[in-house]
Structure 1
């Protein structure tokens, strides 16, 4: 939909409200004990990046489509439930396969019967529609089949079975489900978790009622349900309940969930705070699975292979539901092991070999590296027709390597727990024309600035803003987290509800979406904002770099400086001089056009040392503390290129006051150069960045000045700091150019005394 007018997003006056049966919940969102329960509510490489707020006076000639409305997808609207997906296919068609066909495949008829039978069994355990059932199961056919059964009748909340005990207790306490479902094998691990949650809930409820002088209180416990995997005796994913059903009569009817019922509840990564809880309806997850199948042109002849965890939206939607939507089949691995995955690509008859898979970049690269070194013959015998990449950014260079190695298209995508998918590249897209894209939006996408103003498109250069999305299938609100919902949701002037993704990006003139990093991961160097993606793209173009991750390193002077951790390529990682390689990589960044403040400090690591989340995504927010602590920086300093002899002499410590003065000075100089005329006006080309160039030049001049005062003329103590500050600021800010700088240096020399 083309919009000639600018549209502003404003805060909503009302929010969506979803409800579930009120029950005792022992913890509030901060993790404190709380016996109250409330319903939840909510509503080629990339070009140089400019991250800014475009003023409303932007030339109207630049105004283009600011909201991308995707074309209608050829999805069957009747597919809004899991039962309808299964019933639409021939009952004898294969749906689930185990690795290397170690068990009998599960057909669509098998799965439909399993789901229907459990729709009658679950109410016997007092599980009603919209009840939350946590599943803690090993990845593979059992986890996939259990998800289909639970999500068809209640709300499935899968958790990582490998998580530590304390993390599982926290997750179950936060969700406080009606029941926890696990396998006989995991029962010894899960039973203590449920026992502790119930104990804490009892303590919280007793304490609350005692404080309120209440003699009696109602208390709900979390039930533990155990199933036995009968795949060997029956088919892949088959299971039987071994827990005794509840006694007594229950009013719950033996029906499947409706499209508007909750079907899936997931926790966000929670790397910087307690995870938020994301509820998704049955119709939304099914329709999104259909959207992926349609965008990838999946057919009944396709065979997927999945190594993504089934407690993550990527494994559930992209591999399982998209497969079912196409009437195809999927091989369900118990996790990612390079040798097992590689062997599964060529096992069995040609018609049962995988034709595609979806995974994160770390899995793509690990698999390629393994096959290159151990089983190169797999490249000639596989049946893959494309590879889908998601959950994290895949660099242009890595995508090109994968394309050349497997000789198949590599199809990028973009999604998040709250909406899976947001965009998807069609299999036939032109990689050369759109390198670095994450695809065509599947939902409505709007790019906005910090004030919620829709940003225009420009053919001259990308205009970066926050990606906001709108669709009936987007999550309607986080569970019991009004603060997060207020920050995340906005309503446009046209009364459309938009969700702020927290990701930065832009849409090109062809409608393809590009990412520029997480808003919270932007590195703020002085007054400049640096996108990690821009630096990583430059680093990945160096032949010695296998993996590059960028982060912000705290800095007293500039707030943050850019840091990068690199994993060297196998051909380079042997007995090599890291100092020479790091010097080469830094010079490469300069040659790539990165300005000095974007050239990163470097640290070398092994891949297994990089911090990851449970889905094998790298965690940038853990890099600084892991690789750039004081101890690591001291060790890393030994590997940095040697400085010139004049500066190598070193100097005494510079006072905090002097550092503050320098920072203030840098800002003043920048502001003096920028002024009102930095923005394009009538008669000025949008590419005319002379003022910005002058500002950057000034920052470099100030940098030279700082180097001069702290290295060439070391400051032990500064006499008359106020006089020095005033004279220096007047000289540099009042006289632009080398003459002002030389005068400032003279005054600095006169005011500083060696110890």
Structure 2
């Protein structure tokens, strides 16, 4: 080939399905590592394409049919095998149901029974029990069969691609279905438009089975850098891997950010190569965002606000001390503040937060929940908030977490943000507890920073610290110190587990 001969690149798929997207990336970057588990395994796009096709043919040979649901149970060390299994299920025309290996047996059984799973696939490193009659296979045995004679079905953008079970912070998890079209919204149409181009690797420690974890999987498919993760998260391990050559982007949840900052693991490290830190899954407290900005001065700190139901619609907020409490403006969709009737409210008014994206998701086999959450492509986020004149969103609270105390409605998020400014607090959750006169009172559950004396976080000391930060009716009337806050696999605090810890 002469120097003047143009390099011919495979065109991106006209129809947007996940298998076609993988085929395109394979054609463009066959030898590039797509997913890497640090020190354990790496997966190139060529391997991803070949192995996913082998898994698809094996599933079809074993009786899985288009539209069947297939549970996928993997731990953090199994990200490369999970990526193969996920795309293999979708290439077979079936529906992937990603599930964390940290789920209790009852939670796993609920998900697999609810979606009527036709099979369960896992990595082979952990036991993966399934309901009676549901076959259990490993990726290794599916991949080994090949089965080139099996014809692959046609997969269409409107076909259901995955069911992702919500985190269950307010009750039993619900299955959220997403089509191929939903999952590939915004995927690049040209190799020069791959995201995160400033990085050779992006680092995360998100659990499989969470919406944040799925975002990382699709970043691996659609972004320029390799998706890098750890077989087991600790702050020290994560901090060490940050110094790996080419790590230019970090993705965290607020609890991980706090662990990294409080552990001291980031001190005395060369962090100059990190240019973007993205936080998701929960609102990033302003005080934590400020600490991240100070610890990684070369990085832009970005907070992402979305939900399993609303993705890929989201708001993004580059940390701005002038708008400390804002969670950003919409990207990839539309944003609305609405009243109880669903009609839009004017700028500055407080109401329900709604997001809208093309090809919306829906709850699987739950029409009552669909009617309450989805409307004409809009998704009711379950949060209360307002918009300013520039279109920035400010969250007041989760609907169920707003504390109604006397004549006041108190935002637990606002109180938590103030608590995170205390130098002796490393974790904070605020809940409402019964009060004989006010109806509810503010109660704070705190994780003390190591070395903090208990009297520094006594009720009197805490109220004194908060006096200049909060109104008197927002001040906690109860305080409980704990070693850690209960969290789900996505890092969200399970507040319903905290209220009962206060004696009435």
Structure 2 Cα separation of the partners of residues 258 and 578 of structure 1: 60
Shift of 1:146: 1.8
The residue number in structure 2 matching 1:138 is 75
Q: Equivalent residues in 2 for 1:606-625 (5 A)?
A: 606-608=482-484, 610-625=485-500
The residue number in structure 1 matching 2:134 is 222
Structure 2 Cα separation of the partners of residues 182 and 550 of structure 1: 38
Q: Is the 8 A contact 2:358 2:377 kept in 1?
A: no
For the aligned residue pairs, the C-alpha RMSD in angstroms reads: 2.8
Shift of 1:591: 1.9
Structure 1 Cα separation of the partners of residues 391 and 220 of structure 2: 27
Secondary structure of the 1:331 match is: strand
90, 104, 116: which is aligned to 1:151? 90
CA 1:530/1:623 → structure 2, altered by over 3 Å: closer, same or farther? same
Structure 1 Cα separation of the partners of residues 289 and 399 of structure 2: 24
Structure 2 Cα separation of the partners of residues 593 and 367 of structure 1: 28
Q: Is the 8 A contact 2:286 2:324 kept in 1?
A: yes
Counterpart check, 1:605 vs 2:491: no
Q: Is the 8 A contact 1:290 1:322 kept in 2?
A: no
Shift of 1:289: 6.1
CA 1:77/1:519 → structure 2, altered by over 3 Å: closer, same or farther? farther
Gaps of 5+ in 2: 1-11
The residue number in structure 2 matching 1:82 is 18
Q: Is the 8 A contact 1:521 1:621 kept in 2?
A: no
Structure 1 Cα separation of the partners of residues 64 and 225 of structure 2: 31
Deviates more, 1:166-175 or 1:281-290: 281-290
The residue number in structure 2 matching 1:357 is 250
Q: Is the 8 A contact 2:303 2:319 kept in 1?
A: no
Structure 1 Cα separation of the partners of residues 310 and 296 of structure 2: 30
Secondary structure of the 1:228 match is: helix
The residue number in structure 1 matching 2:296 is 406
CA 1:488/1:589 → structure 2, altered by over 3 Å: closer, same or farther? same
Q: Equivalent residues in 2 for 1:510-549 (5 A)?
A: 510-549=390-429
295, 309, 320: which is aligned to 1:418? 309
Give a deviation string over 1:508-528, Cα, whole Å, max 9, x none.
222222222111111111232
CA 1:290/1:601 → structure 2, altered by over 3 Å: closer, same or farther? farther
Structure 1 Cα separation of the partners of residues 364 and 124 of structure 2: 31
Q: Equivalent residues in 2 for 1:290-689 (5 A)?
A: 297-299=195-197, 301-317=199-215, 319-347=216-244, 350-351=245-246, 354-370=247-263, 372=264, 374=265, 376-378=267-269, 380-381=270-271, 383-407=273-297, 408-425=299-316, 429=318, 431-442=320-331, 443-458=333-348, 463-475=349-361, 477-490=362-375, 496-570=376-450, 573=452, 575-578=453-456, 581-594=458-471, 596-608=472-484, 610-626=485-501, 628-630=502-504
Shift of 1:368: 2.1
Shift of 1:593: 4.0
Give a deviation string over 1:539-572, Cα, whole Å, max 9, x none.
223333332211000123222111111223345x
Task: Give the structure-1-normalised TM-score.
Answer: 0.60
Q: Is the 8 A contact 2:72 2:121 kept in 1?
A: yes
Give a deviation string over 1:346-390, Cα, whole Å, max 9, x none.
23xx23xx21122210011112222x1x56222x25621111001
Q: Is the 8 A contact 1:265 1:277 kept in 2?
A: yes
Structure 1 Cα separation of the partners of residues 324 and 306 of structure 2: 18
CA 1:410/1:94 → structure 2, altered by over 3 Å: closer, same or farther? same
CA 1:599/1:290 → structure 2, altered by over 3 Å: closer, same or farther? farther
Shift of 1:165: 2.0
Q: Is the 8 A contact 1:361 1:392 kept in 2?
A: yes
Secondary structure of the 1:287 match is: coil
Shift of 1:325: 1.0
Structure 2 Cα separation of the partners of residues 128 and 434 of structure 1: 51
Task: Give the structure-2-normalised TM-score.
Answer: 0.88
Shift of 1:487: 1.4
The residue number in structure 2 matching 1:722 is none
CA 1:509/1:618 → structure 2, altered by over 3 Å: closer, same or farther? same
Greater RCO, 1 or 2 (C-alpha within 8 Å, sep 6+): 1
Q: Is the 8 A contact 2:169 2:493 kept in 1?
A: no
Secondary structure of the 2:185 match is: helix
Structure 1 Cα separation of the partners of residues 273 and 15 of structure 2: 29
Deviates more, 1:172-181 or 1:326-335: 326-335
Structure 2 Cα separation of the partners of residues 300 and 590 of structure 1: 44
Structure 2 Cα separation of the partners of residues 286 and 414 of structure 1: 19
Secondary structure of the 2:489 match is: coil
Q: Which has the higher helix share?
A: 1
Shift of 1:483: 1.6
Shift of 1:79: 6.9
Shift of 1:294: 11
Structure 2 Cα separation of the partners of residues 484 and 607 of structure 1: 35
The residue number in structure 1 matching 2:122 is 182
CA 1:381/1:390 → structure 2, altered by over 3 Å: closer, same or farther? closer
Structure 1 Cα separation of the partners of residues 60 and 175 of structure 2: 25
CA 1:578/1:328 → structure 2, altered by over 3 Å: closer, same or farther? closer
